[in-house]
Amino acid sequence: MSRTTFFEVRILDANTKEHLCFLDKVEPYSTIGDIKSLFHKSYPQWYPARQALRLDPKEKSLRDDEILQSLPVGTTATMYFRDLGPQLGWTMVFMAECFGPLFTYLLFYFRVPYIYSHEYGFTSSPHPVVRLACACHTFHYMKRLIETIFVHRFSHGTMPLGTMVRNCAYYWGLSAWLAYYINHPLYTPPSYGELQVSYALVMFAMCELGNFSVHLTLTNLRGEGSRSRRFPMPTKNPFTWLFFFVSCPNYTYEVGAWVSFSIMTQCLPVALYTLLGFIQMTIWAKGKHRAYSREFKDYPNLRMAIIPLIL
């Protein structure tokens, strides 16, 4: 009968190298998540989501699902702890990021006093496109809220509070910037009138539906509790066929929705916001595309990150 070889884990502060904790008789099949839980018992103020453990202070943090005996360490392992700061769950993060733009846009749409001149307080725009833009903007963020609650399954548990504050400042601030110009009393409707608005509305609706379809596909990719990893494939839903050409069609549809919103409103701040969003989403899409390509040897070569055949 074989004897189990237990591990000893020393945890040091990554900055000062101060000894923080010594864990004796740790099971070899323990995960980094298990070690974080044991460490949490000694330091209740540092809950597991707030901890980052590394084998070297300059290396990247270990994943929670990594197994202790699979790491390049002896039976006495030394790990370095870094405090990630207060953390918030992804559901809370997405709710905050979506509620803000929804609320701030409506303040400008209803022309709350002190935003524009006093004579325009609680007045409404005479242009139908302004009302349509408000409906589209509200629909977009309501959809995101519904997806956050009922559709998304988040693979990463938390986000640092400081990062969430920056993200909220970005989304809330830019939403107010767009709303200020779209709902401004001097706003002028698009050059080509109803034709331009109608085409843009159809494009917006298709992109929103496509985005939702892709999110459903990604959610169904991994069953509840399943640990198997697969890359997304098109389904019978035609909106998912974009998976034939790009790795992250959810970002493609998201960019398409904002491009159509820019055309609908013919507003320069909206176009600039769309450009900023496209740059950020391209960075995220390229990261996921590289991860898929590394992980799956049979990953389709035809796929690009976000724009079919181009990028």
Using a cut of 0.85, tell me whether the model's pTM lies above it. Answer: no
- pLDDT confidence of 151, banded at 50, 70, 90? confident
Q: Are residues 69 and 162 in the same domain?
A: no
For residue range 229-239, what is the model confidence (pLDDT) as tens digits? Answer: 788 999 999 99
- Do 157 and 282 lie in a common domain? yes
Q: Per-residue confidence at 1, pLDDT binned at 50, 70, 90?
A: very low
Which of the listed residues 38, 66, 85 is the one where a domain comes to its end? 85
Q: Is residue 46 part of a domain?
A: yes
CATH of the domain at 37: 3.10.20.90
**Pair 263, 199: CB distance under 8 Å:** yes
Whether residue 306 is contained in a domain is answered as no
Q: Are residues 111 and 79 in the same domain?
A: no
The set of long-range contacts for 37-40, using a CB threshold of 8 Å and a minimum separation of 24, is 39/11, 39/81
Distances (CA, A) of 290 to 115, 245, 278, 294, 304: 45, 15, 18, 6, 10
Co-location of 65 and 100 in the same domain: no
Q: According to the model, what pLDDT value does residue 3 have?
A: 64
What is the mean pLDDT of the segment spanning 29-47? 90
Same domain for 172 and 110, yes or no, is: yes
In a domain, 307, yes or no: no
Residues 99 and 172 in one domain: yes
- Same structural domain, 157 and 287: yes
Tell me the pLDDT tens digit for each residue of 155-166: 556 778 888 888
Contact at 8 Å (CB) between 258 and 273? yes
Q: Cα(169)–Cα(306) distance, rounded to whole angstroms?
A: 26
Same domain for 94 and 71? no
The pLDDT of residue 222 is 64
Q: Is 42 part of a structural domain of the chain? A: yes
> What are all long-range contacts of 45-51, with beta carbons under 8 Å and residues at least 24 apart?
46/81, 46/83, 47/87, 49/84, 49/87, 49/157, 49/158, 50/83, 50/84, 50/85, 50/86, 50/87, 51/81, 51/82, 51/83, 51/84
| pLDDT digit string, tens, across residues 201-260 | 999 999 999 999 999 999 888 654 455 578 899 999 999 999 999 999 999 999 999 999
Distance between CA atoms of 134 and 239, rounded to whole angstroms? Answer: 25
Same domain membership, residue 259 and residue 240: yes
Give me the number of domains the chain comprises.
2
Mean pLDDT of the chain: 90
Q: Show the domain range for 267.
A: 88-295
Host H or E run for residue 140: helix 128-150
**Is 41 a residue whose pLDDT tops 60?**
yes
Q: Is residue 310 part of a domain?
A: no
In a domain, 311, yes or no: no
Each residue's pLDDT tens digit, 267-289: 999 999 999 999 999 999 999 99
Please indicate, yes or no, whether residues 81 and 148 belong to a single structural domain of this protein: no
Is residue 229 included in any domain, yes or no? yes
Of 85, 116, 131, the last residue of a domain is 85
Taking 80 as the threshold, does the pLDDT of residue 4 lie above it? no
Q: Check: CB of residue 248 under 8 Å from CB of residue 289.
A: yes
Confidence of residue 59 (pLDDT cuts 50, 70, 90): confident
Q: For 79-83, 150-154, 201-205, 298-302, which range has the lowest pLDDT when averaged over its residues?
A: 150-154
Asked whether residue 184 carries a pLDDT value surpassing 90, the answer given is yes
Of 44, 59, 85, which one is at a domain's C-terminal end? 85
The sign one gets for the Cα dihedral 48, 51, 52, 53 is negative
Candidates 105, 115, 154, 140; CA nearest to 277 is: 140
Assess whether 28 and 112 both reside in one domain. no
* Statement to judge: residues 250 and 114 lie in one domain: yes
Q: What is the mean pLDDT of residues 57-81?
A: 88
